[in-house]
Every structure is written in C-alpha cells, then in structure tokens.
C-alpha cells in the first residue's frame, strides 16, 4: 500500500499553485508589481534602517542636529558614532549592514524580473513613461540611495547589482572603491531618470521616489 501511494507523489506535487502568484504572473500585472514593490518601502521603515539606525543612530553630529553624551562610557546601541568614536563590537553596525543588503537584494530581484517582464520596454514611448517604467526607475533610485548611505557609513563596500542566493559567498567578492560605485550609480540613474514620472503624476505623490527625487539624488551622488 505504501509503495502504491508513493508512486503517485511526483504527479501529485507537480502542480501550478492555486493562487497563481508565480513571478510570471506578478510581473505581467502592474497592480501586482506595485504591491511587491511596496515590500522595499516597508523594509525602509524598520528600526534597522530608516526607522532608527540610519535616521538617527548612525548620523554623525551636524549643524542641523546633534547628540550629547554625559560620560565616556560606550553606548551599547552605537550612538557614540555621533562623536566619531565608532567601535567594531556594536551590534547595531552588523544589523544595519545586513538590513541594507537585504533591501538591496530585494531591489536587485525586482529589477531583473521587471526587465524580463512583457510590460517593460527599454525605450520610453509616448509623452509619459508607463507605470512599469516608473517602478523600474523608482527601485533603481531606492537602490542607489541604499548604497549612498552604505558609503557614508562604511566607505568602500561590497557592490552587487544582480540577485544573489543564500549559498553565494558574499564576502569573497571583496569591496569596491566608493568612487567607482558612485560613478556607476550616477550613470545608472541618468539612464533611468527619463523613464520616471514627476511626483504630481504619481499616486502618493512625494511619498514615492519620483523623477525629481531621482534628479536630486544624482546631485547627492
């Protein structure tokens, strides 16, 4: 009886998911594509990224805001970096590094899938870019912002623009000179910028990475 039941397992498991949420399905629909893109935005709000660490914890003191310290003890959350006194033992550094690369890898996955989508075209046709083209430029812009904050915090970093797997030897890649990364990102965004929409033409307006945002980021880079 066991042998008979096992003989049909392969056929039983070889089915298309009932939900239909395969990559081909998701990236053939701008609505589903946009829903997937919001995962990148939601990751940005976590404490390990712009919810705390990049927004305040790792910000060095500037003429805009600063942090003060009453004694010379090391802060466990890494806020001492505001006084340019970084320590390799801070868990916040490792957590922030991992969170940024998680978002970058998600962006790389998204960009590759968009390029393979039937809705994507390398050239802008018509008076305004399509929503698919906007999302493509939008995610490229977000990825460039992640790398800029990596460089601001660490200097030369590991530079990856294609999807990676959990089995990849990430650290064997070594670091890339920050100037080379910035040059790549500037050229990358200059090419993507015409494919994007202005904030006035986007749902959620300035809450999404718009064409103006991309232009400003090119200047920052």
Per-residue confidence at 30, pLDDT binned at 50, 70, 90? confident
CB neighbours (10 Å) of residue 60?
13
pLDDT for 16: 56
Question: What tokens does 68 get?
Answer: 């003060």
Q: Which of 31-45, 68-82, 89-103, 159-173 has the lowest mean pLDDT?
A: 68-82
**Does residue 52 have a pLDDT over 80?**
yes
Give me the residue label for tokens 């090391």. Answer: 74
Average pLDDT over residues 105-126: 85
Q: Is 176 helix (H, G, I), strand (E, B) or coil?
A: strand
Average pLDDT over residues 197-207: 94
From first CA to last CA, the distance across the chain in angstroms is: 67
Per-residue confidence at 77, pLDDT binned at 50, 70, 90? low
Each residue of 31-43: b (16+ CB within 10 Å) or e?
eebbebbeebbeb
Q: Which of 162-166, 176-180, 195-199 has the lowest mean pLDDT?
A: 162-166
Out of 27-36, 84-93, 109-118, give the one with best mean pLDDT.
109-118
């Amino acid at each position: 009886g066991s042998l008979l039941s096992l003989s049909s397992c392969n056929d039983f498991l070889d089915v298309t998911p009932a939900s239909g949420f395969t990559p081909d399905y998701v990236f053939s629909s701008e609505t589903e594509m946009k829903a997937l893109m919001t995962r990148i935005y939601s990751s940005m709000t976590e404490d390990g990224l712009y919810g705390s660490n990049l927004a305040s914890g790792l910000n060095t003191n500037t003429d805009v805001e600063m942090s003060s310290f009453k004694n010379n003890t090391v802060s466990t959350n890494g806020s001492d970096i505001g006084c340019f006194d970084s320590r390799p033992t801070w868990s916040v550094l490792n957590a922030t590094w991992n969170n940024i690369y998680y978002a970058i890898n998600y962006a790389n996955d998204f960009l590759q899938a968009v390029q393979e989508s039937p809705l994507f075209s390398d050239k802008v046709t018509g008076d305004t870019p399509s929503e698919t083209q906007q999302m493509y430029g939008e995610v490229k812009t977000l990825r460039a912002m992640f790398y800029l904050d990596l460089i601001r915090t660490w200097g030369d970093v590991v530079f990856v623009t294609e999807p990676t797997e959990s089995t990849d030897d990430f650290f064997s890649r070594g670091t890339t000179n920050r100037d080379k990364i910035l040059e790549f990102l500037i050229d990358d965004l200059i090419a993507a910028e015409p494919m994007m929409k202005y904030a006035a033409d986007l749902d959620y307006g300035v809450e999404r990475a718009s064409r103006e945002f991309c232009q400003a980021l090119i200047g920052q880079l």
